[in-house]
Amino acid sequence: MIFSYRTRRVLKRLLIVLLALALIGVGVLACWFLWLQRYVVYTPEGAILDFDKPLQYAPGQTSTPTEPLPTVNINYGDPDEDAQQKAELERFSGYYVTLETLLSDFDNISEKLRKLPAGSTVLLDVKSSSSYSYFSTSVGIRAPDFDTAKLDSLIADLKQKGHYLIARIPAFQEYHYILEDERERVPNGLPKDGGNGALWLDADGPCYWMNPAKEGTVSYLIQTISELRQRGFHEVVLDDFRFPRTDMIPFILMEDQYLVEAADTIIKACATDSFCVSFVQDKVDLPLGEGRTRLYVENATILDAPALLEQSGLDVARLVFLTDTGDTRFDEYCVLRPIEMAHD
């Protein structure tokens, strides 16, 4: 349909008038709503209009802050027990026993340990990288060529004398544990690059490595640590807490993040007011979260110690040096030396 020029002008003017009226109507409606707001009263049943509501608010009173309640000191647990737990986080010195030393001369080493003064600090290697445990275990695999009852008895004797007992175990190195149930555990291992699903075998062990990024790996470590705590140890140290240094496994993004997350999960699950979870690293940049936990360093010289302590960001009681020297300057730090250096 074609309109004449005059008709189009009339329609255009009419449209402008209607649009202007619509805008005026919207403005009036908005003003009306704003005006009604003063009469709106909110009740449990909803909002209502009360046109009898006074427009002036009643004069108010200045509020004053409430009186603070008196603080009450709360003491959890026995004071003597608290003091003992606090002492466990202070600087210590003691001795460590490697698995090789323990197995080669068990009777002589046991005698040296039993002669230590009561309350000494002792670290024991209790598991090998081949997955063999040298104490009675229901989580791992007992060593077939060693009487685990002998180590159980030694641990019980040391505990009875009030020693601070530390167990050191490999963090991720396993061998027979993976072979025992390949279908269940191979997914938790580190695959060989280009190996079509086969696991990488560390020839230095020989052993396989568990993947720190896997939930199954962390769960297995938590079970092992919990068992050692029940056995009577006050602390468990996870040795070689890192990814292996090799180009034979696929490159893994965010390796450091996976290690931090694994450590944090283990600490939260296992560390208590009387039990410590610690880690051995070749670096000291593993950030330790809240909780009872320490970082251990091997093969450091006394000249390295101040810089390592500063680099770690830890206080002196949370960084432990494992050294085979008798340098007395190490006594300013937490230090453990080989049991062979103990005086009879």
Inter-residue contact 135 to 155 (CB < 8 Å): yes
**What percent of the chain is predicted at pLDDT more than 90?**
49
102, two tokens: 């323990």
Lowest model confidence (mean pLDDT) among 150-159, 278-287, 300-309: 278-287
Confidence of residue 3 (pLDDT cuts 50, 70, 90): low
Least Cα distance to 278 among 216, 321, 342 occurs for 321
DSSP-assigned letters across all residues of 238-302: EES-S----SSS---TTHHHHHHHHHHHHHHHH-BTTBEEEEE-SSS-----SSSEEEEEES--T
Lowest model confidence (mean pLDDT) among 129-133, 222-226, 339-343: 339-343
Question: What pLDDT score does 189 carry?
Answer: 87
Question: What pLDDT score does 84 carry?
Answer: 42
Digit-coded pLDDT (tens) for 39-94? 655 444 455 666 665 555 444 444 444 444 333 333 334 444 444 444 446 788 99
Q: Considering the chain, tell me which residue range(s) the CATH 3.20.20.70 domain(s) occupy.
A: 91-341
Digit-coded pLDDT (tens) for 258-276? 999 999 999 999 999 889 9
Question: What pLDDT score does 143 carry?
Answer: 92
Question: What pLDDT score does 72 carry?
Answer: 33
In this predicted model, which residue has the larger pLDDT, 36 or 227? 227
Question: What pLDDT score does 57 carry?
Answer: 44
Angle at 97 between CA 179 and CA 141, to 5 degrees: 20
Does domain 91-341 correspond to CATH entry 3.30.1600.10? no
In this predicted model, which residue has the larger pLDDT, 98 or 287? 98
Confidence of residue 157 (pLDDT cuts 50, 70, 90): very high
Question: What pLDDT score does 102 carry?
Answer: 93
Query: Mean of the per-residue pLDDT values for the chain?
Result: 82
Least Cα distance to 275 among 292, 288, 263 occurs for 292
For the stretch 25-43, what's the b/e string if a residue is b when 16 or more beta carbons lie within 10 angstroms of its beta carbon?
Answer: eeeeeeeeeeeeeeeeeee
Cα 249 from Cα 101, distance rounded (Å)? 32
Q: Is the pLDDT of residue 304 over 80?
A: yes
In this predicted model, which residue has the larger pLDDT, 284 or 183? 284
190, two tokens: 């580190």
Question: What pLDDT score does 35 carry?
Answer: 64
Q: What is the mean pLDDT of residues 221-232?
A: 95
Q: Is the pLDDT of residue 119 over 60?
A: yes
| Cis, peptide link before residue 206, omega less than 30° from 0 | yes
